[in-house]
Chain A
Amino acid sequence: MANLETQVLIIGGGATGTGIARDLALRGIKCILAEKDDINAGASGANHGLLHSGSRYVASDAEAAIECREEGEILKRLAPHCIDNTGGIFAAVSGDDEKYISDFPSMCQKCGISAKPIDIKEAKELEPVLSEKTIAAYLTEDASIDPFMLSLENMAQAVSLGSSYMRHAKAIEFKIENGKIKYTKLINSKTGEETKVFAEQIVNAAGAWAGEMAELASVTIPMVYSKGSLVITQKRLTKRVINRLRKASDADILVPGGAVSIFGTTSIRINTLDAIYPTVEEVDFMISEGAKMVPILETTRYIRAYAGVRPLISLGAKKGDDRSVSRGFVLLDHTENGVDNFITITGGKLTTYRLMAEKTADLVCRHLGISATCKTREEPLPSTTHGKWTEPAMTPKMWMQKQKTDDILLCECEMISKSAVDSLIESAKQSGDPALKVLGLRSRIGKGPCQGAFCSLRIAAYMYDKGELNLDSGISDIKFFLNERWRGERPLQWGTPIIQSEIAEAIHCGFLSIEL
């Protein structure tokens, strides 16, 4: 069993965890980030990719609204490569709460959020897919953000400053001595290999799994899980982010993401974190509800659906407690639970991830007795090769620019060539063995219409040729990758997707007999 030493161990490789890693690294503090699966495997990778202007929260949570506004402005300035500054429209349709509509501008104004009224005709001109029944529309500052690129770039900078990232490393034990965690035992879920990490501070940024992690240190965090599902359309339906102008509810946000659009969400209370997948019922509900705002949702082709879990924390009696920085997110110092070097950060939104990281890092520094100040408010997020592959339509552009005929495409849908796969393999190898899913997470592989049916085979063959796969590991790799894709395809099986999955089954089962 390997032993590792570090100043800070961060558990959880979502936006918050990677954000903390970068924040700390910029303050000169080295850390290890251990993630039980891979970057953004939880809620950070299963959301709209929406950079909120704050308008959505003006009624329910003015404080969160203001945070969103401020953080949105900072990110647009410092991480423009991760953001598509689309602007947004809040649109109400007939039947929506008229009082909310009339109060909306003044609520926005109170939070300093821009919301410019436009007439219906103009709104229809800007976004022709809006319903004929639209009765009110406002222009807002919402934007779309690529959460994968964001987390990958955060982590990449932390790594470049001396921190490290371990994927498939699940924390299974905290060794507590004298009210302190002496070491954390990690297990590699692929190889079964165990590692002990001796860290001065442990940050629990495990998102929905924060409760489970805290439990390892015998700390109880009262958590409630809310599952939210989303669907991806095959074509981009709007230029801007479209929000339904009503009290925040289900199936009311449509966010453009490169060449596609993402629509959601649902919110379903679940008790365990075992089965997080979108269901047929959720998809059908979202489509019929969403079609009221954007009717084309009823007929457009969908590529896949996915689901994430929002961790909600009921802090009950301790209302107004200073540990609750805002109702948006929760930062817990477990000193008072008897564990001195253990901090939990959870909840919050993608938009405010930087602020959450800043507050957490501040607390870590206090614990460590270091007086370094936060730099992420001013320092731009660098663009690296690790993050660039996630951007839709990026790979074909780069490939066409080079125009090397020998550099053939392994993934046809998203046009990812041999050289791009080489680069992805290099990037993935920084934190473990490359596998299809690992490459998929860092790129657009498997995200096109074929959903991995063809590219999984071609890339696996290529990886064998490069010596990156051996024995029959490719078979399980392909199965694992396709099954992961399948969860998102399953609720959308009608029209062309059912043809697509029939072909996939004919190839993989009928011909390759991979199921036997």
Chain B
Amino acid sequence: MFFSISFKISLAIFVLGTLYRIINWFRFKIGTDALSFTMIDRIKSGVIGIFKTIFSLKIFSIIKVLILDVVLQIKIIRADKWRWIMHMCIFYGFMLLLLMHAFENQITKALFKNYASTLNPFMFLRNLFGAIVIFGVLIAVLRRKKTPKILTNAHDSFAIFLLFSIMLSGFVLEGLKIISSPIFDEMVSSYISGSDDITPLKAYWAKKFHVVFKEKININDEKLLSEGESSHIDNCASCHSMPETAFISYPFAVSFKHFGNTLNDFRVDRWLWYFHVLSCFLGLAYLPFSKFFHILSTPINLLLEPAEEEKNKVTSRIIGMDACTHCGVCTENCSVAQIYQVTQNPNILPSEKLASIKLLSRGKKVEREKLNEIAEGSFICTNCYRCTKVCPSGINLDDLWTASKNTLIQQGYFEPHNWIAQKSPSEWAETVKKKKDEPSDLIDNPEIFYGCVQCSTCASVCPVVAASNGNEIDLTPQQVMNLLRMGLKDLAMASKMVWNCTTCYMCEENCPQGIRVTDIFYELRNKAYIRFKDVKENV
């Protein structure tokens, strides 16, 4: 009764939640191109798109991707083998448990006629699969602890906690069941006729199966034991393997023996069973709202992504965000992630920015302060494409960043080069003349430019200088360096050269004196943003 009601409730939540999420795929929007489509259009186009993909030649390449990236997670093994092991342990361990244990009545029994949960190999395998999941969970915890770049949010912690409690409660529950005399009694009353003397069986089970009985039982009486053994073989052995093979639960059972009577008296096993089952149902209900939802969204996105239809691109962006597992690989590889150390704005990190953009996509009002942070993070991004390349869920992050930048611009948050270009370098310098400034080791340190011998190679090799007409370029790289040498940083910060730089590093590589021209430009941009942003409202 309890079981089926709670199961139905959680299943209902799961189904509704999943539907809700799926509808949101078509409802939410990010990017200015998303504004012109209705939800119905997008659903239609999405369904058609998926079918088109399935019934096209593309499906083969998608199957290949599904096998390599989804089933085998090749992308992850290349990047970090521990992370791959973690993912494999959790996913496959959990799946096997689900199939063999949670659905034992539906699946396992159907396959194996004489299945019993306490019989080997099932008992052993259950422990093994559980151990594998726990091993994966431990790697996950350690990885998050050891890599400071990866931020952990409430969802991450909760997911890990939930997995861990399902597994642990399962093991402890099994341990408690082993020593439980009430369960023994129940079994005896179900399977053995009431007239039999069960003392020998008790002795045998107390000795071999570690059941803890209230009354004193002599477990050293050889005769009693051999009687018990034959009774066991007659009545129990067909369903019970020796408990040692439950190699995780068994040690629990042994250690519980000392206070076994108390545990048995209070039927702690039952309470824990409730806990275990509820945890599982909670997991089920929570699944559509958790990062585990990627199990669904990733493959669907793979089916939708190849569709060239504009509407589907918009939808794919939203599904893509749902496919994010917050694993942090993008952030580990982000080429501007180090700026987070300076500004402490988490929206610089792609993994965190994505969560913020989810907020943005819902179309609800976002606080100005928060928007400012998202804009800062977004416009620091150089669209270097690295995150997209490494994302194990195959999310087209690059497209997402472009779209979200457009949304921000549409809401009045201009890219720095836009609003910085509204004033000339001289005007900016005048505006921030009196503003205090935290000196940087790079751009405020004239020793960085001591080596410059004024050969003008940097200007000569610069593709921006070469490709720009007279109006598009105001300074050469060398001139920027000279401004800095003379302490005229504010003039350099807003210069077109600095903001049009493509960071191709030609200047830096060709500098005979090894001056870090490009790094300096990059720092100038970031510093300019910080230095000018407070006064930009006046622009």
Contact check: which of B446, B453, B479 meets A235 at CB < 8 Å?
B446
The reply to whether B426 and A259 form a contact with Cβ atoms under 8 Å apart is no
Contact check: which of A259, A400, A403, A449 meets B453 at CB < 8 Å?
A449
A368 within 8 A of B: no
Mark contacts of B434-453 with chain A using CB atoms, 8 A cut-off: 1 yes-contact digit, 0 otherwise. Answer: 00000000000011001111
- Chain A residues contacting B471 (CB-CB under 8 Å) are 405
The reply to whether B454 and A448 form a contact with Cβ atoms under 8 Å apart is yes
Given A397-B426, A405-B471, A405-B474, are A449 and B486 neighbors across the interface (CB < 8 Å)?
A: no
The reply to whether B482 and A448 form a contact with Cβ atoms under 8 Å apart is yes
The reply to whether B454 and A393 form a contact with Cβ atoms under 8 Å apart is no
In the complex, A289→B263 CA distance in Å? 86
The reply to whether A393 and B487 form a contact with Cβ atoms under 8 Å apart is yes
The reply to whether B454 and A403 form a contact with Cβ atoms under 8 Å apart is no
A59 within 8 A of B: no
Residue of A nearest to B446 (CB): A235
- Could you tell me the distance in whole angstroms from the C-beta of B234 to the nearest C-beta in chain A? 92
- Chain A residues contacting B238 (CB-CB under 8 Å) are none
> Which secondary structure characterizes the binding site on chain A?
loop
- Could you tell me the distance in whole angstroms from the C-beta of B56 to the nearest C-beta in chain A? 53
Contact check: which of A235, A405, A406, A454 meets B454 at CB < 8 Å?
A454
A496 within 8 A of B: yes
In the complex, A449→B450 CA distance in Å? 8
Among the stretches A158-166, A322-330, A409-417, A435-443, the one at the interface with B is A409-417
New A-B contacts (20) at CB < 8 Å, excluding given A449-B485, A453-B454: A234-B446, A234-B485, A235-B447, A259-B486, A301-B447, A392-B486, A393-B488, A396-B483, A397-B488, A400-B425, A400-B426, A400-B429, A406-B470, A413-B482, A414-B482, A415-B482, A450-B453, A454-B454, A496-B513, A500-B453
Contact check: which of B447, B453, B454, B491 meets A397 at CB < 8 Å?
B491
- Chain B residues contacting A396 (CB-CB under 8 Å) are 482-483, 486, 488, 491
Given A403-B474, A412-B479, are A234 and B450 neighbors across the interface (CB < 8 Å)?
A: yes
The reply to whether A412 and B454 form a contact with Cβ atoms under 8 Å apart is yes
- Chain A residues contacting B454 (CB-CB under 8 Å) are 412-413, 448-450, 453-454
A side interface size, CB within 8 A: 30
The 4 closest A-B pairs by CB, nearest first: A405-B470, A235-B446, A450-B454, A259-B486
- Chain A residues contacting B473 (CB-CB under 8 Å) are 405
- Chain A residues contacting B424 (CB-CB under 8 Å) are 400-401, 403
Contact check: which of B450, B455, B479 meets A496 at CB < 8 Å?
B450
B-contacting residues of A (Cβ < 8 Å)? Answer: 234-236, 258-259, 301, 392-393, 396-397, 400-401, 403, 405-406, 409, 412-415, 448-450, 453-454, 495-496, 499-500, 503
Q: Which residues 17-62 in B have Cβ within 8 Å of A in the complex?
A: none
The reply to whether B450 and A301 form a contact with Cβ atoms under 8 Å apart is yes
- Chain B residues contacting A393 (CB-CB under 8 Å) are 486-488
- Chain B residues contacting A414 (CB-CB under 8 Å) are 482, 486
The reply to whether A449 and B452 form a contact with Cβ atoms under 8 Å apart is yes
The reply to whether B479 and A415 form a contact with Cβ atoms under 8 Å apart is yes
B456 within 8 A of A: yes
- Chain A residues contacting B446 (CB-CB under 8 Å) are 234-235
- Chain A residues contacting B491 (CB-CB under 8 Å) are 396-397, 400
In the complex, A405→B447 CA distance in Å? 29
In the complex, A503→B455 CA distance in Å? 9
B478 within 8 A of A: yes
Q: Which residues 465-501 in B have Cβ within 8 Å of A in the complex?
A: 470-471, 473-474, 478-479, 482-483, 485-488, 491
- Could you tell me the distance in whole angstroms from the C-beta of A481 to the nearest C-beta in chain B? 16
- Chain B residues contacting A495 (CB-CB under 8 Å) are 450
- Chain B residues contacting A415 (CB-CB under 8 Å) are 479, 482-483, 486
In the complex, A417→B450 CA distance in Å? 23
- Chain B residues contacting A496 (CB-CB under 8 Å) are 450-451, 453, 513
Contact check: which of A259, A392, A397, A409 meets B479 at CB < 8 Å?
A409
- Could you tell me the distance in whole angstroms from the C-beta of B477 to the nearest C-beta in chain A? 11
Query: Can you list 25 pairs linking A and B with CB atoms under 8 Å apart?
Result: A234-B446, A234-B485, A235-B446, A235-B447, A259-B485, A259-B487, A301-B447, A397-B491, A401-B424, A403-B425, A403-B426, A405-B471, A405-B473, A409-B479, A412-B478, A412-B479, A413-B454, A413-B482, A415-B479, A415-B482, A448-B454, A496-B451, A496-B453, A496-B513, A500-B453
- Chain B residues contacting A454 (CB-CB under 8 Å) are 454, 456
Residue of B nearest to A415 (CB): B482
- Could you tell me the distance in whole angstroms from the C-beta of B158 to the nearest C-beta in chain A? 49
- Could you tell me the distance in whole angstroms from the C-beta of B154 to the nearest C-beta in chain A? 44
